[in-house]
Structure formats: C-alpha cells, structure tokens
Amino acid sequence: MIDFWSNLHPVVQGLIKGLAVIMVIFPLAGACSLAERKVSAWMQGRPGPNRAIVPWIAWIPFVGTFLQRLGVFHLMADGAKFLFKEEPVPGHVNKVYFALAPAIAMMPALTTITVVPFGAYFNAAGDAIPLVLANVDVGLLAVFAVSSLGVYSLILAGWASNSKYPFLGSVRASAQLISYELSMTLSVIPVFLWINAPGAPGTMSLAKVVEFQSLPGFWGGTWFVFLMPLSAFIFLVSLFAETNRQPFDMPESEADLVGGFHTEYGAFKWSLFFVAEYSHMLVGSGVFTLLFFGGWNPLPWISLADLVGWLHHATHAAWTIHPLFVGVLSLGIFLGKVLTLIFIFMWVRWTVPRFRYDQVMKLGWQKLLPLAIANLILYALAIAFIQKSAS
C-alpha cells in the first residue's frame, strides 16, 4: 500500500491529495448551508427543514424519524434539485462571463486550501509534521493573494448580468472587499513579527505559527488571541466583511438589491456561489484558528504533544502514538474549532442587524484601518523592546 503510493508519479500523488481535500471541503460547505438553515430556525424558535426523507430510511423506527427531524436529507434533496433544475440564462446577459463567474468563484475558494495546514502528526524524532497539501514558507501570503482573486467572481457576475441590481451589488462588492483586505493584512503582521525572532530565518508559514503556540511553558503555550486580542478582533471583523457575511452582506443585500450580484442566477450556478462562500468561510475560519486559536492544540497551555503523551501514559497502548491516530485526532480538534467558528458566523448573522453601505465604508476606513495601524505600531514597538531586553 505504502509502496504503491510512493511509486506513483508526484503529479498523480498531488492530484489525489488535492481531490481528497476537495471531496471533504465541497460537501462540508454544502452541509454548512444546511446548518445555516437549522441554526437560523433554532434562533427564531421554529423547527427548520424537517421533512425530506429517503423512504427506506423512514422505515427504521426512531432513528429514521430522528434523522428526518434533523433535516439531514434536505442536503441531498437540495443538491439533487440544483443539479436537475433548469438553468435559466436571461437573454440580456453576456453569456461567456455569466457562465465564467460561478467557476471563478470556486477556483480561489478551493485553491487557498492547498496552503492551509489542517492537522499534524509526530514523526519518529518527535517533530510535529503538519498535514498540508503544500507546506510553503509564504503560507499566509498565498492565502491572502489567492483569496483576493475571489472578488472577480462578484464583479463579473454583476457586470455580465447586465441589469441594475446585480451591477450595484458587484460595485459594492469590489469596494468592500478591497477596503477590508487592508485591515485584515495589517492585523496579522504582529503575529508574524512575534514569531520571526531575530537570527532565525523569516517565515510566514501557518504551521510555524501553530508551532509557536504549542511550545512548553506559560508564554509558549499562550494562544495568540490572549497575546493580541485586538489583532484577533480586527481579523475576525475583516473576515466577516471579506466573506460577505451579514452584517456585511452588501454584495447581496436581499433587503434592497433583490439578490445583489446573483439576482440573475439560478440552479447550479447559483449554488456554486454559495458553496464558494462557505468554502471561503471554512478557509477563513481555519486561518483564524491557526493564527489565534492554537490550530490543532486542544486547549491553551495544553499542546497536542501533551495530550498524546497523557493518552499514552494512561492507556500504555501503542495505537495512541501511531501517526495515523495522532493525525486524525489533530484533524478532529482543528475541525471542531473551525466548525465552532462557523457557528459563530451564523450566530452573528441571525443576531446583528445589517449595516447600511456608508456605515460599512466608514467602519472599514475610519475605524478599523486606523485601529489596525495603531495596533501594528504598538506591537512592533513592544516586540522590539521585549526581544531587545531578552537578548
């Protein structure tokens, strides 16, 4: 099995690994859309989707009814509906760009996952090896660069639709995404100033950030959210804006623009926009978890290595230190944190009223950006002072 794998051509290996990750992220994004409906229903005190059921599962007592009430089959029903529905293409659109926009929405959303580590295991020497498709040194920069291309799908969708509301939505989208990208980029710089100690080779790798949060000792084990709460806050707010989530849903704004950039879209093209939005949320939450919430470390001051060590000590079983078990454990911890964040996204969406467009711009340029710059200068001075006195 292992021999077969390592004998494969590197390109084939890469393809299989990439496809495996896409096979996870795509249904996960779909499941998020179901979760969104369930969470919104829960917050508004109604049952939510609870009818769809496959006949032969309905025959199972209790379990069948439970799954039906949970609404899990709505996911399949939705998927099948979007696949087999008629694809409406209005006569007044620019056909090439109209069809291209949903595809462009998916590409950056899925490409960013290549550099986001989602777990780790320990090799024989005890070093943590991150589970990631491409462990490049520019990690976070690659995420920012590729995800910034996502704005084109909104711009093109609105422009190609050739009608007023989508156009307004896409104009708002391009202004909003570019505005909040600045605060987002500035807010993470303190993290990288902190982990790039003088003398060591510089890095922007996300795996390195987690490594710094799993060092032993009080300061080593501190998650960066405690060290840099303001950075985390600015990053989170910008993340809401970058993923077009309420209260920043200007590109869509159902309240005043019908459906914003996707007004003219239907069926599978429409659902692609939504899978892309949820993929962006998943990747964004993943990056947020890695930067500020310790990545795959279970608790602050308790690293993955500690947990595995305790498990091994308690059970004396060999499987507790098997790389496969550790990998799955870290993946579970990481996914748990990411899904919690996704829940917070939904929680905010159904709690906070949406902004007006001028408020979004004012918040971005007059509040968040100065705050991010002040935060950066403060931390740059503090880190320089600490590292000077430490050396």
Using CB under 8 A as the criterion, which residues of the chain lie in contact with another protein when the complex forms? Answer: 11, 97, 136-138, 141-142, 144-146, 148-149, 151-152, 155-156, 159, 167, 170-171, 174-175, 177-178, 181, 196, 201-204
Q: Which amino acid is at 305?
A: A
* Least distance between another protein and beta carbon 201 (Å): 6
* Least distance between another protein and beta carbon 346 (Å): 27
Please enumerate in sequence order all residues whose Cβ is within 8 A of that of 143, keeping only pairs 6 or more positions apart, or say none: 112, 115, 116, 206, 283, 287
Closer residue to another protein in complex, CB, 73/248 = 248
Residue 308 and residue 330: Cα distance in Å, rounded?
A: 10
* Least distance between another protein and beta carbon 225 (Å): 24
Residue 177 and residue 174: Cα distance in Å, rounded?
A: 5
* Least distance between another protein and beta carbon 148 (Å): 3
* Burial of 22 per CB tally in 10 Å (0-12, 13-18, 19+): middle
Closer residue to another protein in complex, CB, 43/175 = 175
User: How many Cβ atoms sit within 10 Å of the Cβ of residue 90?
Assistant: 14
Helix (H) or strand (E) holding 3: helix 2-7
Q: Read off φ and ψ for residue 72, nearest 5 degrees.
A: -65, -25
* Least distance between another protein and beta carbon 279 (Å): 18
Closer residue to another protein in complex, CB, 260/327 = 260
* Least distance between another protein and beta carbon 163 (Å): 13
* Burial of 9 per CB tally in 10 Å (0-12, 13-18, 19+): exposed
* Least distance between another protein and beta carbon 110 (Å): 16
Q: CB of 114 within 8 A of CB of 285? A: no
Closer residue to another protein in complex, CB, 156/326 = 156
Closer residue to another protein in complex, CB, 45/201 = 201
User: How many Cβ atoms sit within 10 Å of the Cβ of residue 198?
Assistant: 9
* Least distance between another protein and beta carbon 174 (Å): 5
Closer residue to another protein in complex, CB, 145/267 = 145
Cα angle 104, 107, 113 (rounded to 5 degrees) comes to 155
Across the strands, what pairs with 130? 120
Q: CB of 180 within 8 A of CB of 238? A: yes
* Least distance between another protein and beta carbon 144 (Å): 6
Closer residue to another protein in complex, CB, 34/155 = 155
Q: CB of 339 within 8 A of CB of 278? A: no
Q: How far is CA 244 from CA 51, 132, 369, 387, in A?
A: 30, 27, 18, 38
